[in-house]
Each structure stands twice: as structure tokens, then as C-alpha cells.
């Protein structure tokens, strides 16, 4: 395993966790309506990160393509999370951007 691969795997695992935690926290906020897009994107992003992790850990012949798609979804999720002041959203946005970058490096 090379460094870019390992960093991408780590970034996907951290992003998956941040999105899962953010999903749960958003559902408990007072202003759930305002968090609707965040809730949706947290699930999209956690699910594609999980698929990217599986692809990398199993040496999938499609790991590159899955990581490219993961980068796109991470960026969209990061852009949504960044709009909200909640700690879990800000933390999630950072994890999403880091993961998008790591996926792009891995796929390039």
C-alpha cells in the first residue's frame, strides 16, 4: 500500500464517521427543517465513503472511479455543511473537504 492509498482510506473512514455523527446530530436539532439538505447529503456522503472504503480494502478494479464519485459527493456535502454554525456541521465540512482532496489525489 502506498501513502496516497492509505491517506485516502483514512480520509474516507473519517469522513464517513463525521457524516454519520452529523446526520444523527442534525436530526436532534431544533431547526430540523433548516438541516434537511444536510441530513440528506450526510447520508449520501457516508454511504459513498463506505463504498469507497470497501473498494479500497478489497482491491476493487473500480476503486479509482468510486473515489472520483466520492470526491464529488464529499464536496457537495462539505459545501452544505459549511453553511451551518453547528459544531458537528463545521467539523463534517472539514472532513468532507479533506476526503474530497484525498480521493482526487488517489484517483489521479
Distances (CA, A) of 94 to 22, 45, 65: 12, 13, 23
- Helix H or strand E segment including 91: helix 87-107
Smallest distance, a second copy to C-beta of residue 82, A? 17
Which residue has 446530530 as its cell numbers?
25
2 touches a second copy (CB under 8 A) = no
Contact map string, positions 7 to 46, toward a second copy, x by CB under 8 A: ------x--xx--xx-xx--xx-xxxx-xx--xx--xx-x
95 touches a second copy (CB under 8 A) = no
| CB-nearer residue toward a second copy: 41 or 102 | 41
Cα separation, 5 vs 60, whole angstroms: 13
Cα separation, 53 vs 63, whole angstroms: 9
Backbone angles phi, psi at 62, to 5 degrees: -110, 15
Summarize as ranges the residues that interact with a second copy (CB under 8 A). Answer: 13, 16-17, 20-21, 23-24, 27-28, 30-33, 35-36, 39-40, 43-44, 46-48, 50-51, 53-54, 57-62, 65-66, 69, 72-73, 76
Amino acid at each position: 500500500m502506498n501513502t496516497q492509498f492509505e491517506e485516502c482510506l483514512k480520509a474516507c473512514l473519517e469522513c464517513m464517521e463525521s457524516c454519520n455523527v452529523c446526520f444523527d446530530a442534525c436530526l436532534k436539532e431544533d431547526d430540523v427543517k433548516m438541516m434537511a439538505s444536510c441530513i440528506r447529503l450526510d447520508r449520501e456522503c457516508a454511504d459513498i465513503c463506505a463504498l469507497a472504503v470497501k473498494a479500497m480494502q478489497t482491491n476493487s478494479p473500480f476503486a479509482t472511479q468510486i473515489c472520483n464519485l466520492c470526491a464529488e459527493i464529499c464536496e457537495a456535502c462539505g459545501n452544505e455543511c459549511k453553511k451551518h454554525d453547528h459544531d458537528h456541521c463545521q467539523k463534517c465540512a472539514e472532513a468532507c473537504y479533506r476526503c474530497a482532496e484525498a480521493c482526487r489525489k488517489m484517483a489521479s
